[in-house]
Structure 1
Amino acid sequence: MKNSWIFKRIFFAFVVVMLMMFAAAVMTHFILSVIEQASNRVDVARQAGAELLNAKSAHMLWMRNLQQMFIDGKLAPEPQAPTDCTFGRWYYSFTPDPEYADVYAKLEAPHARLHQIGHDIWELYRYGDTQRAMQIFNSQLMPLADEILALLTQVQQEVEAHGAAVAARAEQIRQWSEKGIWVLMVFGLLFAFGISFTTARTISRPIKTIASTAELVAGGDLTRLADPGKVKGEIATLTTAFNTMVAGLQEIVKTIREQALFAKEASESLSIASVESSRAGEQIAVTIQSVAENSTEMSSEITRIKQLAEELNQVSFEAKGLSDRALHVAEDTAESAERGNAALRASIEQLKTVSETVQFATDAIQNLGRRSEEIGDIVGLIDGIASQTNLLALNAAIEAARAGEQGRGFAVVAEEVRKLAAGSQDAAQKITNLIEDIMSETTVTTQSMEVNAEEVAKQLLAINQAAESLHEILVKADQTRAAAEDMTNIAAELTKHSQRLERLLQSIAQAVQDNAASSEEVAASSEEQNATAEEVAATAHQLKEIVEILTKSVNRFKV
C-alpha cells in the first residue's frame, strides 16, 4: 500500500496511544513494585521492632531469674550462649537495612558480654561463692543490662523511623506516578481526538465531491468527472478509480449501441436459419429410425453369443477348480513324503547313535571283564600273601612259646598278625567270589549287547530301504505337482481368455444398445430440434424487439 496516507495517520495515532498506554502500564508496574518493596520493608521493620521488644522482655525476665536466685537460694537454670537465646537466634539470622545497620551491629558485643557475665555469676553461685556472684551481678551485669536495654530502645526507634520513612517515600512515589498516569491519559485522549478530527475532515470533503458527481452520472450524464483537488493517499486513489469507472461506463454504452445494431441484424438471419434447420431435422429422423431397427436385430444375435461365452467361462472355471484341487493334493502328498523322509533320516541318525552307544557299552563291559580278571589276579596274590603271613605268625607264636616269659609280648603280636592274615584271606575270598559273579554277568551282558547291535543294524537297513522308497514317492509327487501346476496354468489362461471374450461381447452388446438408444435419442433430438427451430424463430422475433428497447434505453445517456 504505497500511498496509504490515511492508514499511516491512523496507525501513527494508534502507535502513540499504545506507547502511552505502555508507559502508563510500566509506571503502574513500577508503583506496585515500589509499594510492594516498601510494604515488605515496613513489615520487616515491624517484625524487627517486635523482636527487639521481645528481646527486652526476655532479657529483663532473665535478669529477674538471676536476681531471684539470690533471694530464694535456688540455683537458676544455666544461662544459654548468646547465639542460642531467642534474641540471639533472630539477631544472627536477620539482615538489617543499611540505614540502621551500624546501630544494629553495636548490640552484638554487649549482648555476648551480658551472657558471659551471667554465666560467670551462675558458675560462682553453683560453687558456693554467693558473695562474689552478687557483687558481679550488681557491679557489672546490671549496668551492662541497662546499656543493652538502651541500645535495644535506640535500635527499635531507628527501625520504626526507617519504616515510617520508607512508607512516606512510597506514598510520595505513588502520588507522583498517579499524576503522571493522569497526564499521559489526558494527553493521549487529546492526541487521539485531534488525529481523528483532522482525518475525518480530510476524508469527508472529497467524498462529498465524489457523491455529487455520482448523482449526475446516475442521471445519465457520463461527461462529468470528479475533481481530485489537492487530496492524496487513499482519497486520491478513490477519486481516480471513480473517474476511471465513469470513463469505462462511457465505453460500455458506446459498445452496447454498436452491439444492439449487430444483434438486430443477427436476429433476422437467425429466423431464416431456423426454418432451414427444421427441414433438415425431419430428414435425419427418418434415417435414424432405420438405424435403430438394425441395431435391435444385432443386439439379439450378440446376446446369444454372449450366453455361449458365459457357458465356456463356467467350464473353464470348473476345470481350474479341479486343477487347483489336484495341485493341492499333489502338494500335500509331497509335503507328507518330505516329512516322512525327514522323520526316517532322523530315525537313521538316532539308530546310528544307538548303535554307536551299544558298541561303546559292549567295549566298556568287555574292558570291565578284563579289569575284573586283573583284580582277581591281584586278589589271588593278596590271598597268597595272607597265607604266608598266617604261616609266619604261627611260627612266631611257636618261637614265642619257646622263649617263655620274654616272648609273651611277641606271642601276642604274632596272634594279632595271624588274625589279620585270616581276615585278609576271608576278604580276598569274598572279593574273588564277587569278581567271579561280575565276570559271569559281564559275559551275559556282552552277549546281549552283541545281539542288540545286530538287531539295530537290521533296523537301520530296513529304515534305509524305506527312505529310498519315500524318496521315489517324493520324486513322483514332485512330478505330479508340476503336472498339476501346468494344468492349473492352462485352466487359468483359458478362464482369462473366456472372461476377456465375455467382456468384449458385453462391450459390443453395450455399444449396440447404446447405438440403438442413441438412434432413438437422435430421433427424439430431431423432433426436439424441429420444435427448437420454431422456438428460435419466435426468440429471434423477441430479440429484435428487445434490441429496439435496449437502443432506446442507451440513447438516454450523454457520452
Structure 2
Amino acid sequence: MFKNLKIANTIILVFLISCISLLLIGFLGYSNMKKINENVTVMYDKGLTPVMQIEDVRNSVLSIRIDVLTMLDTKYTADIADHITNNHNKVNELIGQLEASGLDDQSLGYINEFKAKYNEYIRSWGTIKSYLSGGMKPNEAEKLTFGNLGSQATSHLDSLFIHYQENAQNLKSQSDTLYSSGIMQFAFIFFASVVVIFLITLPIVGVVKGTLKEMNTGLMKVAQGDFTITLDTQGRNELGVMKKSLANTIKSISAMLISIKEGFQAAQDQSEKLTSISKEMSASSQQIADTIQYIASGTGQQAENLIHITNTVNGFGMEVEEIAMAIDDVDKRAKEINTMAENSNTGLNSLVSSIEEIKESFDDVCNKISALGTSIKQINDITVIINSIADQTNLLALNAAIEAARAGEAGRGFSVVADEIRKLAEQSKNSSSGIGKLTDSISKETIEVINTTQDVSEVLENQLESINVTLHSFKQIISSVENMLPKINNVNSSANMINTQKDDIISMIRKASNLAEEASSATEEIAASSQQMNASSEEVAETAQKLNNMSSNLSVEIEKFKL
C-alpha cells in the first residue's frame, strides 16, 4: 500500500498536519492567554485598585479615630483637628472614586452602609469637637457610642474588602481552570500530531530507503555487467516509476547486447568461411601459376610433343573450367561478404544511435534524480520556516513570562502558561529537526544514485568508443572488398575468355609452331594475371583473418555481460 503513495503528496500532508497543529496550538494559546489577561485586567481594575482605595479609606478612618482618641485622652489641638478634616476630605474623595468605578450591587450596598455609619460618626465628632474646643470632655456613654460608630463603619469596610477578596479568588479559580484545560489541549494536540506524523513518515521513509537501496544494488550489478537482475516494478509512486524506467532500460540494453552478440557470432562464422574460400582461391591461383609456368617451359618442345600438348591442353581446359567456376564462386562470395559487411556497418550505426539514446535516457534519469534533490532541499527550507516559527513562538513566550513576572503574584499562572508554550515551541522545533535529518538522509542516498548512474553512463561511453572502432574496421573491410571485386571480375573475365578459347587453342595446336611466340607471350600474361590473382587472394585472406580476430575480440567483450 505504501509503495503506491506519492512521496511529494506525503510530504505535503505532513507539512499540512504540522501547520494545522501549530495553528491550533497558537489559537488555543492566544485564546487562553487572552482570557487570563482579561481576568488579570479585571483583577487589577475591579479588584486590586478598589482594594487599594478601600485600604486608603480604612487607613484614613483609622487615622481619624486615632486622632480623636488622642485628643480625648489629652486635650484639643487645632493641628490634629485639621489633620482629621484632611483625612475626612480624603475619605470622601476616595468614596467618590469607588462609586464612579462601576461597582456591583453588593459592593454599593457595603459602601452605602459604610457612608451611613461614617457620616453618623463624623456628626458625632462635630459634637465631641465642640466639647473639646470648649475645654470640656464627653461622658463615657458618648465615648462608647462614638467608638461603636467608628467600629461599625470600619466593619463595613472590612466586609467590602472581604467581598473583593472573594471576587479575586473566583477570577483566580477561572484562570487556574483555563490553565489546566489549556495544558490538556496543548498536550493532546501535540502528541496526536506527533503520532500521526510518525505513522505517516515512518513507512514512507522505509519505502524510500528500501527502493533506493534496491536501485543502487541493481545499478552496481549492471555496472559489473550483470543484466540478469530483476527489479520490483509494482510501485506507482515516483521511485516506483524510476524503478520501472530503470528495469525497462536494463531490459532494452540486454536485448541489444544479445542481438549484437548474435550478429558478431554470425559475422565471425562468415569471416571463417571467407578465410577458407580465400585460402582455396589462393591455392587455385598458385596451381594456375604453376600450370602456366609449366606451359611456358614446354613451349620449345611444341613441335615434338604436339599430341602430348593436345592432351595436356584438354586437361588444361577442364582445369580452366573449374577455375572459372571457382572464380565465379569467389566473385559471388566476395559480393555476399561486401553486402554482409555493409549490413553489419548499418547495424553498428543503429547500435551507436541506440547506445546514444540509452546514454540520453541515463542523463534524463540523472536530471530527474537531481530534481528530486531540489524538492528535498525545498522540504528542508520548509522545516527551516517551521523552526523560525517555533523560535518566534519561544520568543513570544519569553516576553509573556517577563510581563507575567512584572505583574507579580497575579501573573504567576500566566507565567506558567507562557513556559508551557515555550516548551511546546521547542518540541515543535525538535520534530522539525527530525524531519530535516530524514530529508538529509534521502538527499545523500539520492546523490549515491546519481553517482552510480554517472558510472553507468561512463561505461556506455566506453562501449560506444569500442563500437566506433569496430565500425571503422568494418568500413576498412568494405573498402578492401570493394577494391578486390574489380580484380576478381577481371580474373573471372579472363578465365571465361580462356574457357571460351580453349577449343580454338586445341584446333590451332597444329599451327603451334607458327604461333609459339604468341603462345609464349600469352602464357606470360596469364602467369602475371595469376600472380596478381594470387596476391589478391592473399589480401582477401588477410582481411578476412583480421575481421575474424576483431569479431572474436568483440565476442569476448560481450561475453563479459551476463544476459
TM-score, structure 2 as length reference:
0.40
Higher-Rg member (1/2): 1
TM-score, structure 1 as length reference:
0.40
